[in-house]
Amino acid sequence: MELVYEGKSKRVWRVGGLYHLEFKDEVTAGDGAVRAAAPGKGALAAELSAVLFAHLAARGVATHFVEYKPPNVLVAVPAEVAPVEVVVRFKAYGSQLKRMPRLKPLQPLSKPLVEFHLKDDALHDPLIYPQDAVEAGLLTWEELARVEAASLRAAEALRELYGAAGCDLLDVKFEFGRTPRGLVLVDEISGDTFRVLCRGEHLDKEYFRKTRDVEGLLRRYRELLEITKAALGRAGGGAVRQ
């Protein structure tokens, strides 16, 4: 095993011709400025990511996911990750309210908003124009179009899934990487990367950002995983290769 990368929430190992993403039992906020031990979080985020990657793949979204190795490892195709984060918003929340204070919190948007951010914690992942990403050599125009289309398709699929469970997906962040078979969705899809309200309560990392309560976050992540698996079961999906 060769350590390829270590970030705030996971370690990436090269094992043979594949990557193993090991999810950590840690939770962070404020671009890593706040950090706390969270026993069991890695397994919850890894399993949720696995079932959601499988769900999106079944709906035509290309991903790096290969299989899930319990409790906290995803096996994935190696990818050259583009330093761009794509955020799809369905309701006004978070940083959008700061830059446009005339919006009301949780105001429904007339259509999904796709944002591009430079992936750089030191700069707090600033919002960039699509042309910025192209001029800086982060993505080509063709890749940009593919990333936007894939992000919208994936976000709508997640919104539909959680909507059927009586929950409200507010926004979601995606990352993409280049592989021999083209640009694919990478990293993770979990309560760390999207905001969802169930019965008006956050079952995502927003709860920790507001409270710093690790135990409460873990309870919510367990509930989020149960809700997701139940919704996938009703939809006839949720099978994950192990």
- The domain in which residue 21 lies consists of 2-78+214-235
CA 108 to chain centre: 21
CATH number at residue 135: 3.30.470.20
Tally the domains of the chain.
Answer: 2
Residue 69 sits in the same domain as residue 118: no
Mark whether 59 and 163 lie in a shared domain.
Answer: no
In a domain, 165, yes or no: yes
> What value, to the nearest 5°, has the Cα angle with vertex 19 and ends 80 and 155?
65
Q: Same structural domain for residues 68 and 149?
A: no
Same domain, 58 and 135: no
SS3 content of the chain, % helix, strand, coil (to 5): 35, 35, 30
Residues 112 and 189 in one domain: yes
Report which of 192, 206, 189, 29 is spatially closest to residue 106, judged by C-alpha positions: 206
Quick one: average pLDDT of 129-138? 98
Side-chain-side CA neighbours of 158 within 13 Å: the count stands at: 34
In a shared domain, residues 69 and 84: no
Q: Is the confidence at residue 23, as pLDDT, over 80?
A: yes
pLDDT interval class at 234 (50, 70, 90): confident
Kindly state whether residue 209 falls inside one of the protein's structural domains. Answer: no
Whether 224 is in a domain gets the answer: yes
For residue 215, the number of C-alpha atoms closer than 13 Å in the C-beta half-sphere is: 0
**Domain presence at residue 241:** no
- Please write the tens of the pLDDT for every residue from 72-107: 999 999 999 999 999 999 999 999 999 999 999 999
pLDDT beyond 90 at 240: no
